[in-house]
Each structure stands twice: as C-alpha cells, then as structure tokens.
Chain A
Amino acid sequence: MNAPLLEARSLGKSYPRDSDARGRFGALLRLLAGRPIPRLPVLSDISLEVVRGQSLAIIGENGAGKSTLLKLLSGVIAPTTGSVRRTGSLGALLELGAGFDAEQSGRENIRLSARLMGWDAEHLAQRFDEIVAFADIGRYLDEPVKHYSSGMVVRLGFAVVAAVRPDLLITDEVLAVGDESFQKKCIRWMEDYLAGGGTLLLVSHSMYHVQKLCRHALWLREGKVAAYGDVFEVTQDYLAYHERKSAAESGPALDAHYSGGEYRITAVELNGEGGTVPCVLQAGESLALSVTLHSPDGRRPGLALGLARADGTPVYGLTTDMEPVPAAQVDAGHWSYRCVFPDLPLLPGSYTVNLHAMEPEGVRLYDTVERGVVIRGATREVGMVRLLHRWEA
C-alpha cells in the first residue's frame, strides 16, 4: 500500500553541448565508440518519492528545469544519471497538456492516449463518448490537433485522463490554459480524484492551486532542489525568495547620511531588523515599524505608510497627519516614528510595506522605500486579512 508509486534517485539530466549537424555527427561517433559526449547540465541530483494518495507540487522559476523533470519522471526522456522507478498506470499532461501528435486528429489522439495509459480498444469504445463529452470541443474532434487552440488541447488531454483515472497523474501547468469554467471543472475533478486516493504531481506557477491541491512541494532552482517538504513552508520560502529578488532589483539602498534639501527616509527597521531582507512573521505576530527621517529645516516631517500585497493590491494605508502621532526628535535634522501593528491579522503570503517621507504639511510625497513582509502559517483561509468573526447557531 505504501510502496512508492514513483521514486527518483539522484536524477540528473544534461543536454549535448553541440546540437548542430556537425556536433550531432561527432556525438554519434563518440556514442558508438562508447565515449562520453560534451554536455550541459539541466538538472542534477534530484531525489524524490511519491506514495499512493500523495500530492506533490513542483514549483520554480521559468527555466529551472521543471518540465524536464516531469519528462524524466513520466519516462518521456531518459535521465543522464540516476534512475526513476514507477509502478501503476500513469497519465501525463506535459507541455500545456499537449501529449499529442499534432498531425493527427483529436479522435486518433484520444485512442493513442488511452492506449498509452493501458486501455484496450474495447474499453475505449465503451467510454469514448464520455471522453468526447468532457472535452467538449465539438467539430474539432476530427481536425488535426495542430489546428487546436492551446485551451482545446488541454481539454482533450484532460478528458482522457479524467476517464482513465490513472494511478499517478503528472500535469504541467495545465490549469493556466483552460478558460475559467474549464479550470473549475478540472480543479473539481482533481479534488475528487485526490479524495478518491489518486496521486498527483503538479507543476504550477499558481501558489493558490499548489496549496489547494498539494500537501508536499518541491522547489526547483537552477536544476537543483532548493526545498522539499510541506507545501506551506516550501511555497512561503519560494515567495520570500522572489521578494528578496525583486527587492534586490528595486534600486539603491537607503542613504543613511543624506543631508540635502529634501525630506527623506534615512533608516527603516521592521521588528528591529534593518537591511533589505524581507521580515518573516508567523501569522498573528505583531509588526513594529521604526522609521527615521531627515528634515532639511529641523521641522517635523510627515510619514505615509502603506501595506500592500506582493502583487500591489493595497491592504491598508495611513499618514501621520491623519491623527495625533507622537514623534521623537533624534537630533537637529532627524526625527523618528514608531508604529506597531499588534497581532497583525494578515493571512500567509507576501506583502510589502511602502514608506514615503512628506513635508510637515502632509501634501507632497518625497521618496519611496519598500520593505518585504512574509507571513508564514498553514491555513486554508483565502484573501489577505483575517476578519474578526464568530459562528452562531
């Protein structure tokens, strides 16, 4: 029962360095002579295990090797090093679901897919209409797949998989392609499949889908395993990594010694931490912001403060002139503010704190400083903020 359906041991894949006509010929001679060919690594040392009923997401940036890994795991290509062991039937929707022969009609491809997943002709004949109904692509059924839109290809592929119900389903970013209603249909089917003991290996850029469908995740970074384990921890690490990456791209660091003629932020601390690394909090923890500002004329500067989700959706914002706010004068040219959000009710995810220095009248914003905040925690609640609520009978 608990023998792994899929097991990969120190899997590695590299592609030949020379793939032009001359390089190919040279490679042939080397292969015949039993000598190694010059290669460029794409994946190295990947080990993973998927037992029946488990669901594993593979996440990572474009070019991290996710699709190559899926091809290795589903047996489409052979690994350069290491081994893959699989038991049970397999359904694979690779590269936008196009597990298909583009020259052949949808009808022919349904036949082929069903055959590959272990169905005989008789079984297929019984269920053919059901597959066609699920795919819902109308007259395109007898057109070559190359005339299909990417959405239609996914529909067709998913329809076969849905009918066959393989022991292990491997999908590559299929949910991104279909339209809204088909996506819902797929997710419903996948949830039902998982609830019925199905095993899923999913590649997706949507952390929402990943967290909804999978309990484990593997983060692939430049061909290596960056993290492997519980889905919430891995996805949060992954999002935090993205935050750091965009923070690194967001321009020059703070100038702590600024002494020019404008109001400026000269220091920011989140829960006592300076630097530009995102501040990581457990859901429900408090967040304290300490901001020091430069004032060219010694008057008390204003501060605008905003919290937004990583994609820019504002969550909450305020300025120091909205209410009586205490401030400390550090020295002749510097003032500091401290703002505490007790028991921050943000849901797990990535957020940014945006800070702007203002002149005392609170009319003009002078600069912008961004800091990342990552909220950790395992919850199935959706949205940005936990609203106070109670259930009543």
Chain B
Amino acid sequence: MQRRWHLLRHFVRQDLAQRYAGQLTGLAWIALAPLLQLALFTLVFGYIFKARVPGLEGGGYVAFLALGMWPWFAFSEAVTRAASAVTDHIGLLNKVAVPPEVLIAARVATPFLLHATGFVLVLGAIVALGTPLHFAGLPAVLAAWLVLLLLALAVGTLAAVLQVFVRDLAQLVAYLLTAWMFLSPVLYTREMSPAAMQGWMQVNPIAGIVESAREPLLFGRWDAPGLLVAAIGATVVAAIAIVLFRRVRPHLHDFL
C-alpha cells in the first residue's frame, strides 16, 4: 500500500513536471490559465450573451459560471486522461510491475490538484470583483469536491479498462463528456431546465455535486440531500468499476 502511494506520488510529480516544466510560462501558467478562462467566460456569457441567473446581478452570473465550471473542468480532464492511462503506458506495463490502478489514479489526481488550486484562485478573483461569497459554505463545497473525486476515479477506471478492449473509445469519451456537461446544471440552474429533464437531474450525480460546489458559496444555502444522492450514485459507479477492474485485471496484460 505504501509502495502504491509512493508510486502515485511519482507519477503525479512526473505528470506535473511534464506538463509545466520546460514551458516558457512554467508554474505561473497554473495560476494564469484559470483566470484567463474566467475572463473569456465573462466576455462571452456576461457581455455578449448577457446571460442571467434568477436572483443574481450582472457580475453574479460570472461567479455562478466560474464556481460550476471548475469542478467540471477537473472531472472532465480527469476522465479524459484516465481513459488512456493504461493504453498510454503499454511499454511500461509490459516491462515493469506497475499496478495499473496507480497509473489511472495518477491521471485523475493531477487535474484535480491543478483545478482545485485554480478553484481557490477563482474564489479570490470573484471576491476581488465584488461578488460577496458565503464562506461558511466551504465545508459543503469540500464535500462536493470529494464526491466528485470519487466519481472521477470510478468513471476514469471504467473508461481506462474498456479502452484496453475497445481502442477507439477515446473519441467516444470526449463526445460523451461534452454531452454530459450540457446535460448538467453547469451553465444553467436545475430550475432553468425543462420539466422533461428534471428526472434526469435527480439521477445525474454531476448535478448534485456541481450545485453543492457552487450554491453554498453563492447563495448560502446547501441542498445536502442532493449531494447525498450524488454520493450514493458515485458509490454505485465506483462499485461497478471495482467489480469490472477485479474481473479484468488478471487478463489486462494479455490485451496490451
């Protein structure tokens, strides 16, 4: 177990080093990228589309958007990169006894580290831009991120294992993730979606998670049962992922 933990740290460090070291902007990029993205969203949604959420003033929509987008960025990037965690390391896996689950976990951990950091910076930016936040809601937000991490590990593991058997899964994963974002209350609120989608919102764990990462800070209210349902959903997906992984694990190398 300790060896796995050491290995996980090794691969996360390697991943971080590879993505940021040697690049011109280096570490500063980690701080700048989220803020630049937020500026873009402000321009497009706040000023061009003039989108509004009921109960929030003009600058409030940008805060709404930012607080929902960052958890989604983390989830989507984690799943996309985890999906190819095993197939990207075929050479390594065929020569060294590296547990594949460590490779998958590392691919999930890195985006979460980056985007959680970005999220904290975004919080600062929102306050600086004059939208008040209810910081008493932070524990609920943390809980939402943890459920999100569990869901990302589960979906990432499913995708990584299936990718070994169906190599063109990657394109499908990218498409499904885009669809999932638009079908989740990231750019809008649950209330704004049509009645036909309400049932789906109940079972879509991303809905409960994104709301719990956003609304306690923004409105000072928290839909705790919503997060609980999401947590149960994430646990079910994780259980499926574990069963699949256990069943396929002894044969994984045969198909690399």
Contacts and interface: CB of A to CB of B under 8 A. Distances in A.
Contacts of B92: 100-101
B95 A98 contact: yes
A31 B167 contact: no
Nearest to B7: A115
B250 interface: yes
Contact of A101 (B89, B166, B248): B89
Contact of B96 (A25, A34, A78, A99): A99
Interface string B91-131: 11111111000000000000000000000000000000000
Contacts of B247: 31-32, 34
Contact of B97 (A92, A101, A108, A118): A92
A118 B10 contact: no
Interface stretch (A14-22, A161-169, A292-300, A310-318): A14-22
B10 to A, nearest CB: 5
B221 interface: no
* Interface size grouping (class) on chain A: 35 or more
B97 A76 contact: yes
A136 B150 CA distance: 45
* Interface size grouping (class) on chain B: 20 to 34
Given A28-B165, A76-B95, A98-B95, A115 B255 contact: no
Contacts of B134: none
A104 B14 contact: yes
Contacts of A118: 3
Contact of A115 (B10, B164, B250, B251): B10
B162 interface: yes
Nearest to B253: A77
Nearest to B168: A21
B14 A24 contact: no
Interface in B144-176: 162, 164-167
B50 interface: no
A112 B11 CA distance: 9
Contact of A76 (B3, B162, B249, B253): B253
A191 interface: no
Contacts of A108: 14
Interface in A11-55: 15-16, 19, 21, 24-25, 27-28, 31-32, 34, 37
A145 to B, nearest CB: 10
B6 interface: yes
B165 A24 contact: yes
Contacts of A76: 93-97, 253
A75 interface: yes
B97 A15 contact: no
A156 to B, nearest CB: 13
A19 B89 CA distance: 18
B236 interface: no
Contacts of B162: 28
A16 B6 CA distance: 33
B57 interface: no
A100 B96 CA distance: 7
A120 to B, nearest CB: 7
A24 B3 CA distance: 31
Nearest to A117: B3
5 contacts: A28-B165, A78-B252, A99-B95, A115-B6, A116-B7
Given A80-B250, A90-B97, A104-B14, 18 more contacts: A25-B166, A28-B165, A28-B248, A31-B247, A32-B248, A76-B96, A76-B97, A77-B253, A78-B249, A94-B95, A101-B89, A101-B91, A101-B92, A101-B96, A102-B91, A108-B14, A116-B7, A116-B97
Interface of B: 3, 6-7, 10, 14, 89, 91-98, 162, 164-167, 244, 247-255
Interface of A: 15-16, 19, 21, 24-25, 27-28, 31-32, 34, 37, 71, 74-78, 80, 90, 92, 94-95, 98-104, 108, 111-113, 115-116, 118, 120
